[in-house]
Amino acid sequence: MKPRLLIVMPFIIVGLTMWSAGCGGGSSKDKFVYETGTGTGTGTGTGTGTGTGTGTGTGTGTGTAPEHTYTCTFFVEANWGGNSTHMIPMSDGVKLKTFFYWPETPGQYPTCLIRTPYEHKMSHGYLPSTDYVEIIQHCRGRFGSEGEDRVFRADGWADGWDGFDSVEWVAAQSWSDGKVGMYGGSAFGITSFYCAAAAPPHLVCVAPGDVIFSMYHDVAYQGGVFRFRDVHTWMTNQESAHMEDEFLAHPAYDGFWDGYNVATRISKIKVPVWHHTGYYDMFLGGVLRNFDLLQSQCAPEAAGKHRLIIGPWSHCGCETLEQGEFTLTDPSILRDLDNEAVAWFDYHMRGVQNGVMDGGPIFYYVMGEFENTSEVPGWEWREAATFPPPGYANESYFLGAGGALTTTAPAAGTGNDWFDYDPSDPCPDIGGHNLYGNTGPYDQSPIEGRSDVIVYTTSAFTAPVTVIGFPEVTLYVSANTTEIDIVVKVTDVHPSGKSVLLAEGALTSRFRNGFTVEEDMVPGTVYPLTIQFSPFATVFNTGHSLRIIVSASSHDRLLSSPDAAQIRIYRNNGMPSSIVLPVF
């Protein structure tokens, strides 16, 4: 495998507000591991004495030692009605810069803790409530906090326990009632969710938005292809390029990534989690693929208590009707997530019966035609116990001659299509599931005429078709080289000709049998490549068509292969390339 070239492109970073302050930048089916510890303890036993009665004695027994503990040796006096800043010690002695915002009235309060890798410059906090002590803390190695910046590895359980230590430090203070909640979007949410997986005893609930389960699958690599633009830009902005190098040094999933994978610790999560995400968020897939597991395989005290909201948004985009190149018209997609987080905290930390646990537990939005969002199917909120909800059938659409996409299985023969991939002119991305650059739903027709792109389209639907869930594409491919990337996009073709992006997936051929072992292709040999996508929920309206777009690159969202290749896609009854959709 040849090394891939990093091509740096300029980007514009826009200002961010409130919930979205954690998103994108400030200044500058996984395996499961169930861990137990062992230890010794003292117990009581029955002794014998002269006469009758029972005596006490000592004995030894076995118990479960905690993975981590924190002892508080530093205490802070409240500055009621004001704010203050302190350096809070972690269990290894490293001190983190921490900002406090105090209620007016002295007393013991629950605490909202926000931990961030971005510089906090405001004179106030984020939480629109005076019923909590609000604490905002710079992560290790960031903006006055001591220690080495390891990009979230010290926020959970891998290279430190800073989230755990901070929660337990708060609970030991005289002004704390012993209850701590965490919230925020994107980076703020990642530190919250990682802390939940570290399982500090006094954490009561978390409300993370637009977060990840697995850093490998949801951030660093898509189908084994490095997510260059988002990772490189974020790391560069944060002056954390050393960690980009470390990500690139681990192209396969290994033990390094276990320290970034909440799915390895689902059984340890013992607090209710309120998730929020969008169909065009780059982190969406991990949240939805693991939510059912979170509900059922977390610690018993939290089982069934989690909630999930999925909207038609890009990353941290729930505060605007502008989505991609379209302006939506339904005001119900706008969410006030700060106040919704307060309601989550009020219920779980203050016992307020406000209905946040009613219904659901999944509230999801069904999209539809983007050019006309009124008086067409879709564009509505629904709720369900699982995603996708029950009642769907997996329907296959097969690749056919002349760019056809049909429910009829292909006949015998040797049908195939081919294209040449040129690394000096890779196919660009347009919109989609990005942190930087254009994000959200965009018309893909500008790339569909390229010579290195193949398009397959159904005939126009004669009735609305509802698709909710995870599409999956299997392509039978060969190449004249030992490694290729395959990028597939799913679009809704409107009567106007716009081909609006719904989902995109990628796979590098060397990870065709999983992400832990790399295997070269034999040139000329045909291999089935199965590409997974982030889910979506939409109604293809009457007169619309389903399309898949196949290429070998998505520049510079993904790091393009340096090797030229001729790629063939086979479509016959022995090699039936197809897309499978959950259709209702």
Taken in order of first residue, the domains within the chain and their CATH numbers are 68-209 (3.40.50.1820), 393-583 (2.60.120.260)
pLDDT reading at 27 higher than 50 = no
Tell me the average pLDDT across 79-91: 97
Residues 299-305, mean pLDDT to the nearest whole number: 97
Q: How many residues does the chain have?
A: 584
C-alpha count within 13 angstroms, C-beta hemisphere, residue 241: 6
CB 133 within 8 Å of CB 107: no
Name the pLDDT band for 17 (thresholds 50, 70, 90): very low
Q: Give, as one character, the DSSP assignment of residue 459.
A: P
What percentage of the chain exceeds 90 in pLDDT?
86
Distance between CA atoms of residues 475 and 531, nearest Å? 8
Taking only the tens place, the pLDDT of each residue in 493-515 is 999 999 999 999 999 999 999 99
Q: For residue 55, what pLDDT band results from cuts at 50, 70 and 90?
A: very low
Q: Closest Cα to residue 206, out of 184, 233, 229?
A: 184
Contact 544, 373 (CB under 8 A): no
Q: Which residue, among 551, 320, 369, 382, has the nearest Cα to 452 in the 3D structure?
A: 551
CA torsion angle 194 195 198 202 (round to 10): -160
Contact 395, 584 (CB under 8 A): no
pLDDT category, 56, cuts 50, 70, 90?
very low
- Asked if 149 and 170 touch (Cβ cutoff 8 Å), the reply is no
Tens digits of per-residue pLDDT, 152-174?
999 999 999 999 999 999 999 99
Round to whole Å and give the CA distance between 275 and 310: 9
Question: So what's the pLDDT on residue 412?
Answer: 82
187 and 23 in contact (C-beta within 8 Å)? yes
User: What pLDDT is attached to residue 297?
Assistant: 96
- Dihedral sign, Cα of residue 338, residue 340, residue 346, residue 348: negative
pLDDT single digits (tens) 530-547: 999 999 999 999 999 999
CA distances to 239, 281, 420 from 18, in Å: 23, 18, 46
Q: What letter represents residue 419's amino acid?
A: F
DSSP string, 302-327: GTT--EEEEEEEETT-TT-SEETTEE
CA distance 442 to 280: 11
- Predicted confidence band of residue 74 (pLDDT cuts 50, 70, 90): very high
pLDDT tier at 4, thresholds 50, 70, 90? low
pLDDT per residue as tens digits for the range 322-378: 999 999 999 999 999 899 999 999 999 999 999 999 999 999 999 999 999 988 999
Alpha helices in 81-177 (DSSP H): 162-171
Residue 40 has pLDDT above 50, yes or no: no
Amino acid at 16: L
Q: Minimal CA–CA distance to 114: which of 219, 21, 210, 16?
A: 21
Residue (of 67, 129, 122) closest to 99 by Cα position:
122
DSSP-assigned states of every residue in 234-300: HHHHTT-HHHHHHHHT--S--HHHHTTBGGGGGGG--S-BEEEEEEE-TTHHHHHHHHHHHHHHS-G
